[in-house]
Amino acid sequence: MANPLYDTLFGRHAGQHTPFLHLPDGGTVTHAEFLSRAARFAHVLSDLGLQAGDRLAVQIDKSADALAVYAACAQAGIIFLPLNPAYTADEVRYFVTDSGAAAFVCQPARRDEMELVAKEAGAKLETLDTQGEGSLAERADGADDNFETVARSADDLAAFLYTSGTTGRSKGAMLTQDNLLSNAKTLVDLWRFTPDDVLLHALPIFHTHGLFVATNVTLVAGGAMIFLPKLDVDQLIEHMPHATALMGVPTFYTRLLDDPRFTRDVAANMRLFISGSAPLLAETHAAFEERTGHRILERYGMTETNMNTSNPYAGERRAGTVGFPLPDVELKITDPKTGETLPDGEIGSIEVRGPNVFKGYWQMPEKTAQELREDGFFITGDLGRRDADGYVTIVGRDKDLIISGGYNIYPKEVELLLDDQPGVLESAVIGVPHPDFGESVVAVLVAKRGAELDLDQITADLGGALAKFKQPRKLIVLPELPRNTMGKVQKNMLRARYGDLFQPQT
């Protein structure tokens, strides 16, 4: 019986003894060995009573076994729900309970604190660590390494990914088999991945980027991965000569550039560097190209859609843009109030439609209806514009829009000017409550290493470049900007920290 996700990603490699995962310790996992391990996990999950359509929540560290659990879920028709290992027990409680997970896998060291979470949610609790230890691993060691793949259709749910929830309750995005497969197939063609590619994989696998982009693309292409547990510059430099591609977030590239060992020779075997999950500074683009001769390819995606746009493989990769809509994705810029499509050059809400767009939010029909139009267009919550050549630029999140005295202020416009100021490495512009204007503009700056910022001069320069209502009323210097695991600046944390800046003191 057919199971498109398993058959296309995993089953097609049955019997292949070619390398799939190259591990940091020098070990190698072949496709055949990986599928054997995944089948054992599938048996265990089935023996635990999980059936097709049930949810399995996992909060475990990155490893070959952790990835095999994902494959086991695909083979057994179970909906895979990966969770950030950094989440506390209280945070995990919401995800496991809300998803109705039938079972939950955690690290052995956290079993005691997670027992109550699992019990309250009515979920079976198992454990798994990076060394192949834990109750799930022990069960798998004694299981059969052949499992009859459960029949599923392209429209069946394959995974839940919960949004970050920075403006309210986290939402469980329901992703179908076709959502995942269509995107992976498109990206393989667009980025020209082949069985000869070796992807340097240092991303987490609880997130779209590391799991459904990096891993799925490699599997569809039939290539291999150097599977690193996390970002480690020493390991990136050590293994890069044996790789052909790297998918990372901006932090990967800034840290590589900070290391004098990272040279053109180290990158000589590479054909492609891809960046996403957060904007890449123009300065990083230029420095990376000068150092290596490679132009980083930026793209744009999100939890609910996987990838939406990409700069071209062959053609101009424009810094500050995320390129063009993918071949099977429709993208339009609309008026946030009316939904009407805006002409090129105007800033508005980014909406996308295509086979990559999720099915909706789990048990949130009203929220789904608000963000997923009846005609299939998803309101991403991102603000952007498309230029005359078709390149898309992300201006910011809709929730980051600042309205001061009735005027709309797009933070990106101010940030670009700030980033060009002498000594400024990067900036984040936020709106904070103001008794007269509703909101007022605050700019948070990070200085380049060894630089001292002249705030008076920066204020004066902005005064000549921006209308008065757009000019920051306060400049704040921090050692670094708060970021999440994927490198995105957490502006909600900055707004919380400086929310009372202009409030009357009592």
Each residue's pLDDT tens digit, 254-265 = 899 999 999 999
Matching CATH number, 4-12+26-152, of 3.40.50.970, 3.30.70.920, 3.40.50.980, 3.40.50.410 = 3.40.50.980
Mean pLDDT, the chain, as a whole number?
93
Given CA atoms 264, 265, 270, 275 in this order, what sign does their dihedral have? negative
Q: Is residue 463 classed as helix, strand or coil in its secondary structure?
A: helix
- Alpha carbon 234 to its chain centroid, in Å, reads 23
pLDDT at residue 174 is higher than 90: yes
Q: Percentage of residues in the chain with pLDDT exceeding 90?
A: 81
The CA distance from 136 to 331, in Å, is 43
The arithmetic mean of pLDDT across residues 215-227, rounded, is 98
Pairing between β-strand 224-227 and β-strand 198-201 as defined by DSSP bridges: parallel
401-497: CATH architecture? 2-Layer Sandwich (3.30)
The arithmetic mean of pLDDT across residues 170-192, rounded, is 96
For residues 287-309, b (16+ Cβ closer than 10 Å) or e, as one string?
ebeebbebbbbbbbbbbbbbbbb
Q: Looking at the whole model, is its pTM more than 0.95?
A: no
The arithmetic mean of pLDDT across residues 327-345, rounded, is 95
Give residue limits of the domains in the chain: 4-12+26-152, 401-497
Residues making up the chain, counted from first to last: 506
Which pLDDT value is given to residue 499? Answer: 87
Given CA atoms 225, 230, 272, 345 in this order, what sign does their dihedral have? positive
299, β-bridge pairs: 310
**Res. 1 pLDDT band, cuts 50 70 90:** low
